[in-house]
């Protein structure tokens, strides 16, 4: 049960510690930071605190899970793995590209043609850079560490579902404003409100289900391939669209957001249908497991 204990301690430190750290970061920003940062909403400081502790705790978590090297967490020598990375990126990029194209074709949104060519290229480059960094870090955490730990003690299918739901919960957090001045306990007050989306059934279905389905696909790719390269590519393709879609398109008319989704792209029934088709393709993908990483 040591893996479970290590994982629970990690999650407690990240969420409780992040909530307690956020006010101090906020006060520090008021004192030394530029005005643009100092006047940022408090919930952003909560998000940054959670992220900072999550990243700082990855290596201690891996050690607590008795993973002695990066190979144990799915990171192996990249030689011979670039094809896996490219295939994953192709599936991720292509699946959400289908969602975006269908939405544009239905004239629910349009391309933001008001952007200058330089701005357009800069936003795409920024989205691509963010996608690579986020994909590597999140795959190492959610698939390499959390899924890897859970499947040591449970059947891998149960571990896949639970780790995917943890992934979905983290990404389901919304913005929440603090009432009154920021106090030492403001992070603890805001954190539950950032999960208020669970009180809206129309948001939970299909939004939370889509995130869980995405987590299942990423974990299944790791399970079948034996390393994280395909998962990283898949995640990179998705993040690119999620970061660029809202910036590069604008809504044309009031549409049924439950079906088409919002500017988040992945929170509608259309996205669920496309992801389900991508899951079928992934289940039939001709993976060749790496002999370096036992699964």
Q: How confident is the model at residue 36 (pLDDT cuts 50, 70, 90)?
A: low
Q: What is the pLDDT of residue 279?
A: 96
261 found inside a domain: yes
239 found inside a domain: yes
Q: What is the pLDDT of residue 91?
A: 96
- CA nearest 7: which of 57, 55, 76, 71? 57
292 pLDDT above the threshold of 50: no
Q: For the residues 96-109, what does the mean pLDDT come to?
A: 93
Question: How many whole angstroms separate alpha carbon 49 and alpha carbon 43?
Answer: 10
205 found inside a domain: yes
* pTM flag (> 0.95): no
Mean pLDDT value across the chain: 87
Greater confidence (90 vs 179) lies with: 90
Calculate the CA 83 to chain-centre distance.
23
For tokens 């979905």, name the residue: 168
Q: What is the pLDDT of residue 250?
A: 87
Question: How many whole angstroms separate alpha carbon 159 and alpha carbon 146?
Answer: 9
113 found inside a domain: yes
Q: What is the pLDDT of residue 37?
A: 54
pLDDT tens by residue, 149-183: 888 888 999 999 999 999 999 888 877 777 778 89
Q: What is the pLDDT of residue 197?
A: 73
Partner residues linked to 251 by β-bridges: 109
Question: How many whole angstroms separate alpha carbon 139 and alpha carbon 146?
Answer: 10
- Asked whether 104 and 251 are in contact (CB, 8 A), the reply is no
Q: What is the pLDDT of residue 291?
A: 44
294 pLDDT above the threshold of 50: no
269 found inside a domain: yes
Radius of gyration, CA atoms only, the chain: 20
Question: How many whole angstroms separate alpha carbon 98 and alpha carbon 235?
Answer: 16
80 found inside a domain: yes
DSSP designation for 179: P
264 pLDDT above the threshold of 60: yes
Contacts of 115 by beta carbon, 8 Å cutoff, 6+ apart: 123, 248
209 pLDDT above the threshold of 90: yes
Structure token digits, residue 218:
């990423």
11 found inside a domain: no
Q: What is the pLDDT of residue 295?
A: 41
Structure token digits, residue 158:
């149960």
Please return the burial class of 185, using the count of CB atoms within 10 Å of its CB with bins 0-12, 13-18 and 19+. exposed
| DSSP labels, 244-282 | HHHHHEEE-S---HHHH--TTSSSSHHHHHHHHHHHHHH
For tokens 């389901």, name the residue: 172
Q: What is the pLDDT of residue 137?
A: 92
pLDDT tens by residue, 216-261: 999 999 999 999 999 999 999 999 999 999 888 888 876 688 899 8
Instruction: Write out the residue range of the structural domain in which residue 239 sits.
Output: 76-185+197-283
Number of domains in the chain: 1
Q: What is the pLDDT of residue 293?
A: 43
22 found inside a domain: no
- CA nearest 6: which of 69, 56, 57, 78? 57
Q: For the residues 119-135, what does the mean pLDDT come to?
A: 89
pLDDT tens by residue, 43-89: 888 888 998 898 888 888 888 888 878 888 898 888 888 999 999 99
Calculate the CA 90 to chain-centre distance.
18
Greater confidence (240 vs 288) lies with: 240
CB atoms within 10 A of CB 15: 19
């Amino acid at each position: 049960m040591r893996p479970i204990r290590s994982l629970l301690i990690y999650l407690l430190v990240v969420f409780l510690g992040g909530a307690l750290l956020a006010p101090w970061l906020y006060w520090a920003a008021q004192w030394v930071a530029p005005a643009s940062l100092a006047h940022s909403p408090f919930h952003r400081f909560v998000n940054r605190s959670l992220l900072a502790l999550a990243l700082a705790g990855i290596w201690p978590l891996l050690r607590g899970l008795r993973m002695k090297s990066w190979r144990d967490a799915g990171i192996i020598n990249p030689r011979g793995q670039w094809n896996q990375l490219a295939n994953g990126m192709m599936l991720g990029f292509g699946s959400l590209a289908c969602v975006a194209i269908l939405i544009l074709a239905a004239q629910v949104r349009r391309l933001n043609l008001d952007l200058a060519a330089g701005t357009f290229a800069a936003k795409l480059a920024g989205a691509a850079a963010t996608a690579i960094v986020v994909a590597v870090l999140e795959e190492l955490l959610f698939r390499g560490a959390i899924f890897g730990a859970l499947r040591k003690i449970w059947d891998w299918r149960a571990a896949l579902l639970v780790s995917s739901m943890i992934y979905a919960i983290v990404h389901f957090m919304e913005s929440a404003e603090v009432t009154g001045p920021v106090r030492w306990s403001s992070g603890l007050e805001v954190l539950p409100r950032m999960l208020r989306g669970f009180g809206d059934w129309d948001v939970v279905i299909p939004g939370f289900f889509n995130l869980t389905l995405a987590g299942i696909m990423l974990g299944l790719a790791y399970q079948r391939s034996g390393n994280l390269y395909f998962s990283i590519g898949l995640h990179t393709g998705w993040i690119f669209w999620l970061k660029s879609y809202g910036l590069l398109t604008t809504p044309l008319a009031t549409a049924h957001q439950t079906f088409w989704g919002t500017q988040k792209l992945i929170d509608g029934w259309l996205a669920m249908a496309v992801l389900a088709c991508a899951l079928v393709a992934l289940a039939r993908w001709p993976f060749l497991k790496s002999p370096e990483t036992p699964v």
